[in-house]
Amino acid sequence: MMANYNNKAQPTGWALKPLPEMDNDQFRKWQELLESRTGMSLPLGRKVFLQTSLGTRMREIGCSDYQEYFEKVISGPGGIIEWTTLVDRLTVQETRFYRDIDACNLVTDYVLTRPVDNLKKSTLEVWSVGCSTGEEPYTLAMLLSESMYMLGLKHYYGVTGTDISKPALEKARAGIYTERKLVTVEDTQREKYFNKHDNGQYEVIPAIKDRVCFARVNILDLGNAPMHGMNVIFCQNVLIYFRRWRRKEILSRLVERLVPGGLLVLGQGEMVDWHHPDLDRVPSDNTLAFIRRPEKN
């Protein structure tokens, strides 16, 4: 009898039954699949995380065998849909607005110290890599809005958020969040940049939404990403999931898309002792950031 893979709720008794322990051979299969398709490196120490994430999804669709679920994910048209759902569970991390205030202040300082004539001539382009459900790119748009206002300039800026998860990007485009996501947003900013719904949720105002676009990009495929000439690239808490050699490869691709004088912001501790011939480290104890050197004549 074939397993029932619909999304209807399963009987409570079945759903509460513990799944069998994942053996090391099964773990290696999933480990190799994740790395080959997403670049995400899952060490043996995260076996419990993988087992829990898979188990949650398997219960939802009524599957009780890891190998059976593995075959479902890698084969047939339905496998593509199921893979997308699973990737969302494995890669979307907890985030919030203004998560790293030091990095936010660095972006503001960077914009405020740019030559005003340059800001008048062209749009300031910012890229949030691994944007998840959108809190980071909207935060960047709010920072740019404030900076442009302080400089007395029109809003010549745009923010692009990219992620591998389609469900996460759908949430990002909606721009609606629970109050828990706004715990680090000051009251004045909350009133200025959000509309509160009757159900207690908050929606990003249209003026900020209009400045942000979202696109699905696999970080392993940055060579084909359409983003070029970026003034700021924000890539925090993304590289930690990849092997060191792949981190260097990803960063080299990002540097190629940064304009001379552009700012690259990374997460603290993500690339210790990393150097690039085209970058200078921003002197800061609280952020890991680099400026791309001007092109040589």
Helix axes 101-112, 135-151, angle to 10 degrees: 40
Looking at residues 83-90, what average pLDDT do you find?
A: 78
Q: What pLDDT is recorded for position 14? A: 42
pTM: 0.80
Q: What is the mean pLDDT of the chain?
A: 86
Q: Which value, to the nearest 10 degrees, does the dihedral of the CA atoms of residues 207, 212, 214, 218 take? A: -160
Measured CA to CA, the distance from residue 107 to residue 141 in angstroms comes to: 11
Give the DSSP letter of residue 180: G
Measured CA to CA, the distance from residue 15 to residue 61 in angstroms comes to: 10
- Name the more confident of 240 and 57: 57
Looking at residues 259-279, what average pLDDT do you find?
A: 88
> Is residue 291's pLDDT more than 70?
yes
Q: Identify the band that residue 179 occupies on the pLDDT scale cut at 50, 70 and 90.
A: very high
Q: What pLDDT is recorded for position 94? A: 67
Q: Are 119 and 151 in contact (CB under 8 A)?
A: yes
Looking at residues 182-210, what average pLDDT do you find?
A: 95
77 CB contacts (<8 Å, ≥6 apart)? none
Looking at residues 71-91, what average pLDDT do you find?
A: 80
Q: Identify the band that residue 107 occupies on the pLDDT scale cut at 50, 70 and 90.
A: very high
Terminus-to-terminus CA distance in the chain, angstroms? 71
Q: Identify the band that residue 141 occupies on the pLDDT scale cut at 50, 70 and 90.
A: very high
Q: Identify the band that residue 12 occupies on the pLDDT scale cut at 50, 70 and 90.
A: very low
Looking at residues 125-140, what average pLDDT do you find?
A: 96
> Is residue 169's pLDDT more than 80?
yes
Percent of the chain at pLDDT > 90 equals 47
Measured CA to CA, the distance from residue 6 to residue 103 in angstroms comes to: 44
Parallel/antiparallel/unpaired status of strands 194-196 and 176-177: unpaired
Q: What pLDDT is recorded for position 155? A: 76
Give every strand in the sheet of 202-204, ordered side by side. 176-177, 202-204, 194-196
